[in-house]
Each structure stands twice: as C-alpha cells, then as structure tokens.
Amino acid sequence: MPKQTNAISPTRQEDFPEWYQQVVRAADLAESSEVRGCMVIKPWGYGLWEQIQSQLDSMFKATGHKNAYFPLLIPLSYLEKEAEHAEGFATECAVVTHHRLEAQLGEDGKTKMIPTGKLTEPFVIRPTSETIIGAAFSRWIESYRDLPLLINQWANVMRWEMRPRLFLRTAEFLWQEGHTVHETDGEAWEETEKILDIYEKFAREHLAIPVITGEKTENERFPGAERTLCIEAMVQDRKAIQAGTSHFLGQNFSKASDISFAGRDGTKQFGWTTSWGVSTRLVGTLIMAHGDDDGVIIPPRVAPTQVVILPVIPKEEVREEVLNAAVALADALQKETYCGEPIRVEIDKREMQGGAKNWEWIKKGVPVRIEIGPRDIEKGTVAVVRRDTSPKDKQFLSREEALSGMATTLGDIQQSLLDRAMKLREQHSRKIDSMDDFVAYFTSENPDKPQIHGGFALCHWAGSNEDEEKLAKDYKVTIRCIPTNKEFVEAGTCILTGKPSQQRVIFAKAY
C-alpha cells in the first residue's frame, strides 16, 4: 500500500486547476468515463449531489412547485421555433439521426454495427427543455384559472463540451430546471426573483458559500430570455463561478410554443414564462470554495456522512468489544439532530491500517471523525477531530460530551467555512476606477503564485456589447453580473468610455 500523506500534490498554490483534479480523485467523487466529456459520479460524489437535490427540492416544494419529467429527445423543429434560443445552443447540440443498427461484416472479417433507419426528423438530446416543456404547457393550459403553472424537473442534459472538467464542465451533467407560466409579466418577474433568493439562501446556508446576486448583461444572457439573474461565487484561485441562473423569458417562448389561455376578459392571451436551474456544477464550486491541501472539506449541511466513527483495534481479541462500542455510539449519535434531521453517521469497519483509513476520510472531507479504542472504552472517552482544523488537532471528550455537543460542533464547522469564504471574497474584491488599474489587477505577475491574480473588480461601466466582448478577448475577463445589492449603486465614470455610470458591475475571470 502506498504511503499515506496529508497533502494533495500539487498544492493549491502550485497549480490550482491540477489540485482540483487531484482532490476530486483523492476524495473518490467522480472519474472520467469512456465517453469523452462525460463523467462517472461515484457513490461519495453522488451522495453529496443527493443531499443538494433533496434539500433544494424541499425548498421548491415549499413555494408551490411540483416535479414532473419530460422527454430526453427534442425534435429539431421544436428547437427552431425560437430562433435566438436555437442559435445560442447550436454548437453544443448532440443530434440523433438514426433509429437502428445493423450488423455488417467488414473487410477485416470483424462484425461492425452500422447506423440505418434514418429519421425523417432529427432529434436533439436536450441541452435544456424550454421548447419540449413549452409544447406540453400549450396542451395543459386553457384558462387563466390554470395559472400559475409551477413545474420543476430533475434530469440530465447534454451540451457538447470541448474542454471538459469534472463537475464544472462536462458534456452530460445532472441538474434541475424549473419552468413556470404566469398570467402577468409582474407575476413572472416576481417568480424569477423568488427563485434567485432560494438559490442565494441555499448557497449561503447549506453550501456555506457567499454569493453575489445580480443580473447578466445582454452578452451573457440566456439565449431567448429577456432578462437573466444569477448567483456568482468566488473560489480560492479568485475566479468566479456562475452557480445558478433564473431567467425571465417574457412571452418569447410562449408565442413560439403557443402557450396561450383565455384571459379574464375572454380574449386569447400568451403566458409569461420563466426558467431556472442549478446543476452538479455546485459540487465543483463547493470543492473549489472549501477544499485545502489535504482534500475536500464538505459543509455539514450537505455531507452524505456528517460523522464517521473509526474503531481503533490494536489486537484481535478486542475487536468485538470495540465494534460493539462503536455501534452503540453510532446509535446514540443518530438520535441527536442537526438542522432538524438525525445526524448522519457511518462506522468504518474495514480491516485496514488506521492511518490509511483516517487519511481516506480526511480527503473525503467528512466534517467530523471520531476514534474509539480499548483505552477510550475504559475511560468513557472518544477522540474527536473536526475537518476544518488540523488533522492532528484532536479533542478528547467524554462520550456524553461528544454526544450532547455534536450538533453544536457541526454548526460551528458550517459557520467557520462560510466565514472563511466570506473573508476570501472580501480580501480579493476591489473598487477599480481606471483602465490602467484594471489591466494591472488582472495581468500582474506574481512569481510565487503565477496562476493567481485578480479577483472581483468592482467597476463603473457604460460600455457597449462590443466593448464588453473586446475586454473578454483581450484579458479573459467578463462582467459576471450587475449586482442587485444597493451598495453597488453610486454615480461614477465608466473605466473604459468615460461615460457617466450609476452602478458598479463585477468583472472577473471565470470558469
């Protein structure tokens, strides 16, 4: 067995992108599959996604949304109904053109499977579902009494990705996509903002990630939407990650799909629609926001296992006694609650060296590790280690103290991770009022950290779409959002054009 160490190689400071890949591998979260650009999500990684999914699902249902499921294959003609939408996803679409295979003998004597049965109309594997869901909504809605219609779907989608990165950008990924129809534009806009608030709250309270809420510029807007709202997170290399979006679609898709209804005055009217979504990208965001050079750190709210018990068995004759004590401790812990739910506990009974087992859980990022052995049983104590502290920082507590204080410990870890992430963002967010300072902020060289520079640049902006595109091309920096927070509203001068500006926007490099 290879020697276990307490560090991922390379470290975050040496090569952050490679560190990320190594953390995903070391934590046994996911791996690349035989299908280019697609990933296999392993049990620990999928357990994390299940927690994200179930907790968000509860939040959606609490606001009146219901789950449904729609086809994976979308007729090409559906996608073409909304021209801007079709154009926006054209380069990312995977297209199904045949419906059967036939076996043919090749010149080399080997059997080859040849696609036959060409379809009269190709199907697109869903990159998003506005058009296919719109077709269903057009059948479901007849009167204003059928509104609002609040639907969510948990599904997989495919967007052909040229440079895949596990969780952050893969050709196939998991997500939820909400789709709603409203009687008025005001109700649809209220829905758009409500969902953004849910995303912000979930990121902050469950993932321990502070995010900035705002609106996308026209260049960054969802294809076919009138307005796009978003949450933007900063990760440890100071880049931004778009962690969720909520789109006000106006009547663009309802007119394309004939989502119409008899209004209160009896006339035909078109619905006002929204769509919104988050994906397994949240897992990547969490890793980059909280991980350290020992591995991933998972906030307790979304950890598949919140406490792992590691039996210490120095001699075979004490095995049964130690395992029985571990089971009794797990049973007692599961009767304690954290955030209204039983604490999630696992006992690692595998027969392997204690050091290797311990480091495996460190790399997985389980919030709390508890060691219990023969001496602990005699003394009525356990050794407790928090993942957000040094691996050597053990607390020797009585069994009763460990049990009664576990919910508080988990809450402290959750808060400490949020505080760290907030501190990082505050340290690397800067008001910038000139192009010289802007260029220096995003291009200055640091020999100790060559790949890390910049952060969130808070700048006045009154440039055109073309100006925005040029900055993105020249410096690989984009406007992440126009913040909704009032603290960003102030009179000033655009850093590029010198024109008056009433609002600072956030520029950053991004994943």
What does the pLDDT read at residue 354?
Answer: 77
Do 211 and 108 lie in one domain? The reply is yes
Q: Where are the alpha helices (DSSP H) in 428-464?
A: 435-443
What is the 3-state secondary structure of 211-279? EEEEECCHHHCCCCCCEEEEEEEECCCCCEEEEEEEEEEECHHHHHHCCEEECCCCCEEECEEEEEEEE
Asked if the structure places residue 211 within a domain, the reply is: yes
244: Cα within 13 Å, side-chain hemisphere: 31
What does the pLDDT read at residue 87?
Answer: 83
Q: In 10 A of CB 268, how many CB atoms?
A: 9
Asked if the structure places residue 417 within a domain, the reply is: no
Do 46 and 82 lie in one domain? The reply is yes
Task: Say if residues 322 and 373 touch (Cβ distance below 8 Å).
Answer: yes
What does the pLDDT read at residue 1?
Answer: 37
Number of domains the chain is built from: 3
Among residues 262, 290, 318, the one where a domain terminates is 290
Asked if the structure places residue 5 within a domain, the reply is: no
Do 375 and 468 lie in one domain? The reply is no
Asked if the structure places residue 422 within a domain, the reply is: no
Do 283 and 172 lie in one domain? The reply is yes
Tens of pLDDT, residue by residue over 37-90, are 999 999 999 999 999 999 999 999 999 999 999 999 999 999 888 777 878 888
CATH code of the domain covering residue 348: 3.40.50.800
What does the pLDDT read at residue 3?
Answer: 43
Q: Which residues of the chain have pLDDT under 50?
A: 1-4, 447, 450
Do 78 and 215 lie in one domain? The reply is yes
What does the pLDDT read at residue 80?
Answer: 86
Tens of pLDDT, residue by residue over 461-483, are 999 999 999 999 999 999 999 99
Between CA 368 and CA 28 the distance in angstroms is 18
Asked if the structure places residue 297 within a domain, the reply is: no
Nearest to 79 by CA among 110, 112, 47, 125: 125
Between CA 152 and CA 277 the distance in angstroms is 9
Between CA 300 and CA 242 the distance in angstroms is 23
Do 435 and 404 lie in one domain? The reply is no
Asked if the structure places residue 160 within a domain, the reply is: yes
Angle subtended by helix axes 43-62 and 185-205, to nearest 10: 140
What does the pLDDT read at residue 106?
Answer: 86
Do 78 and 132 lie in one domain? The reply is yes
CATH code of the domain covering residue 460: 3.30.110.30
Asked if the structure places residue 243 within a domain, the reply is: yes
Do 221 and 349 lie in one domain? The reply is no
Do 276 and 310 lie in one domain? The reply is no
What does the pLDDT read at residue 449?
Answer: 52
| CA Rg value for the chain | 26
What does the pLDDT read at residue 86?
Answer: 75
Do 240 and 381 lie in one domain? The reply is no
Among residues 381, 411, 441, the one where a domain terminates is 411
Tens of pLDDT, residue by residue over 294-338, are 999 999 999 999 999 999 999 999 999 999 999 999 999 999 999
* Structural domain that includes position 215: 16-290
